[in-house]
Amino acid sequence: MPVTRVSAPPPRDPRARTVAERLTADPADGGTLASWGTETGASAGTLARLFVAETGLAFGQWRERPRMQAAMPHLAADLPIEAVAHQVGYATAGSFTAAFHRLVGVTPRQYFPLDDQGTS
Q: Domain segments of the chain: what residues?
A: 14-111
Using an 8 Å Cβ cutoff, are 54 and 19 in contact?
no
> Which residues fall within 8 angstroms of residue 72, CB to CB, at 6 or more apart?
6
Q: List the chain pLDDT tens, one digit each, 120 residues.
A: 555 678 899 999 999 999 999 999 999 999 999 999 999 999 999 999 999 999 999 999 999 999 999 999 999 999 999 999 999 999 999 999 999 999 999 999 998 886 544 444
Give the C-alpha separation, 90 to 97, whole Å: 9
Q: What is the CATH number of domain 14-111?
A: 1.10.10.60
Give Cα separations from 50 to 14, 82, 97 (angstroms): 10, 32, 28
